[in-house]
Amino acid sequence: MDTLMTNQRPLWKDQFWENPWDQGGLAVISLFIIVVLLLMSFATVFGALPTPEKANRFEES
């Protein structure tokens, strides 16, 4: 009975990686998530920086 349980591999894992459309969909979803995270990080960084008008005002004082 133990040999039957140890030799079984999930069939869906093998079938998933054999289909190129599934791999492409995974790549597209991954790229979308990466782009969204990059845009959020740019918005955070550039939103925290002072505008040039405010930066020049402090130098004139």
Q: Domain residue spans in the chain?
A: 30-61
| pLDDT at 27 > cutoff 80 | yes
Report the distance separating Cα 33 and Cα 24, nearest Å. 14
Global model pTM greater than 0.85: no
pLDDT digit string, tens, across residues 11-24: 666 676 677 787 88
Which pLDDT belongs to residue 34?
98
Higher-scoring residue by pLDDT: 40, 8: 40
Which pLDDT belongs to residue 30?
96
Average pLDDT score over residue span 14-39:
87
What is the DSSP-derived secondary structure letter of residue 19?
-
| pLDDT at 57 > cutoff 90 | no
CB 42 within 8 A of CB 34: no
